A = this chain, B = another copy of it.
Amino acid sequence: MTATPTPRVTIKDVAARAGVSKGAVSLAFNHKPGLSEATRDRIFRAARELGWAPNLTARTLAGSRVDVVGLAICRPARLLGLEPFYMEFISGVESVLTEHSCSLLLRLVRTVEEEVGLQEAWWRGRQIGGSILVDFRADDPRVAMAERLGMPVVAVGHPSLTGGLTSVWTDDATAVTEAVRYLAALGHRRVARVGGAAGFGHTAIRTAAFDEAARGLELAGALQVATDFSGEAGARATRSLLTAAPPDRPTAIVYDNDIMAVAGLSVAAEMGLRVPEDVSLLAWDDSQLCRLTHPTLSAMSHDVHGFGAEVARTLFGVIMGDGAGSHPVPTPVLTPRGSTAPPR
């Protein structure tokens, strides 16, 4: 860190040299409409000649930067690219940020401790006006971090995991229960779930809800398998479930995302099992993939893009201090397509 002296030039000097108002300089540097190309050029030239750059606090509202928000994701880079959920979520976040001329500062981290250090550095360094926190675990250190820093955040996770932070969540327990009830109503008694990574809070919520629903419906053959959310892991889990001989073989499988369900469909075909005659498959999240397979995949349909957009809108509310409250987004709804039917 070099102790570069801050130039003594101010925005007023730049405005004077360019022959415009301070407001026009602000417009140019904040990348807002309303200036001709020639005026913008003149302003940037004046700033360059004077060696002036806008103070970070310049792009702030009541002391908080509002043109950049942070998002750290704790996943191996390889897996991030393979799972449709995050890209749909980020595209939803971006759809709202773009309306506000706001950018997303994105970083992959290896541990939640690394994220705590990073968020603190971003916030202390005034690089962001707030952050979106995802993938909550039990006793998550980010709750205390956000409170200690007084940093505007939105926690994406169930309030049981996110302490007193403003949170936006999906009611996973209700959705899992509906999925199990639907399969039981079709007549399935041996139902399996290919779940996500065991460390995540939402996975634990789904696991508990699945167990409870299966107990309530007296499904003797309920089974759950944990994966890392990847298609390969979904294929392995499906293969292992379907190699059991009837009557131990599940007649219906619920997946925690859609890429694993696509993989499951392929494993069934490779094993000579027909979907849905021999085994019913039910996907989760329901990206376009579910409508592109043959048969099309029944799914617990979740508007992940809309979820991301709602999270971004809520974060702007928190940054503006308008008392945006915690709230769930619409619960995933059952969308039956071609991959589920009564067991033979």
Q: Answer yes or no: A105 CB below 8 A from chain B CBs.
A: yes
Do A124 and B53 form a contact, CB below 8 Å, given A98-B109, A107-B97?
A: yes
Interface of A is mostly: helix
CB contact between A98 and one of B25, B86, B107, B265 (< 8 Å): that residue = B107
Give the Cβ gap from A115 to chain B, nearest Cβ, in Å: 10
Instruction: Kindly state the separation between the CA atoms of A218 and B186 in the bound complex, as whole angstroms.
Output: 56
CB contact between A29 and one of B84, B108, B125 (< 8 Å): that residue = B125
Instruction: Kindly state the separation between the CA atoms of A56 and B53 in the bound complex, as whole angstroms.
Output: 10
- Closest B-chain residue to A230, C-beta based? B288
Instruction: Kindly state the separation between the CA atoms of A226 and B195 in the bound complex, as whole angstroms.
Output: 38
State whether B107 touches A80 (Cβ < 8 A): no
Instruction: Kindly state the separation between the CA atoms of A22 and B105 in the bound complex, as whole angstroms.
Output: 27
Residues in B with CB closer than 8 Å to A11 are 1, 3
State whether A95 touches B117 (Cβ < 8 A): no
- Closest B-chain residue to A109, C-beta based? B98
Q: Answer yes or no: A187 CB below 8 A from chain B CBs.
A: no
CB contact between A81 and one of B80, B88, B265 (< 8 Å): that residue = B88
Q: Answer yes or no: A217 CB below 8 A from chain B CBs.
A: no
**How many monomers of this protein are in the complex?**
2
- Contact indicator per residue, chain A 79-110, by CB within 8 Å of chain B (1) or not (0): 01110101111111011011000011111111
Q: Answer yes or no: A120 CB below 8 A from chain B CBs.
A: yes
Instruction: Kindly state the separation between the CA atoms of A80 and B275 in the bound complex, as whole angstroms.
Output: 31
CB contact between A47 and one of B56, B124, B292 (< 8 Å): that residue = B124
State whether A127 touches B6 (Cβ < 8 A): no
State whether A30 touches B55 (Cβ < 8 A): no
Do A91 and B78 form a contact, CB below 8 Å, given A3-B22, A29-B121?
A: yes
How many of chain A's residues touch chain B, expressed as a range? Answer: 35 or more
Residues in B with CB closer than 8 Å to A262 are 289, 292-293
CB contact between A58 and one of B4, B22, B118 (< 8 Å): that residue = B4
Instruction: Kindly state the separation between the CA atoms of A104 and B105 in the bound complex, as whole angstroms.
Output: 6
Residues in B with CB closer than 8 Å to A94 are 77, 80, 106-108
A residues 1-27 near B (Cβ < 8 Å) are 1-4, 6, 10-12, 22-23, 25-26
Q: Answer yes or no: A269 CB below 8 A from chain B CBs.
A: yes
Q: Answer yes or no: A335 CB below 8 A from chain B CBs.
A: no
State whether A77 touches B53 (Cβ < 8 A): no
State whether B288 touches A269 (Cβ < 8 A): no
Instruction: Kindly state the separation between the CA atoms of A28 and B117 in the bound complex, as whole angstroms.
Output: 9
Residues in B with CB closer than 8 Å to A82 are 88, 287-288
Q: Which residues of A contact B (CB under 8 A)?
A: 1-4, 6, 10-12, 22-23, 25-26, 28-31, 44, 47, 53-60, 68, 77-78, 80-82, 84, 86-92, 94-95, 97-98, 103-110, 117-118, 120-122, 124-127, 230-232, 235, 259, 262-263, 265-266, 269-270, 287-289, 291-294, 296, 304-305
7 further interface pairs, Cβ-Cβ under 8 Å (given A81-B305, A259-B288, A265-B294): A3-B58, A77-B92, A77-B98, A81-B87, A84-B87, A103-B106, A269-B294
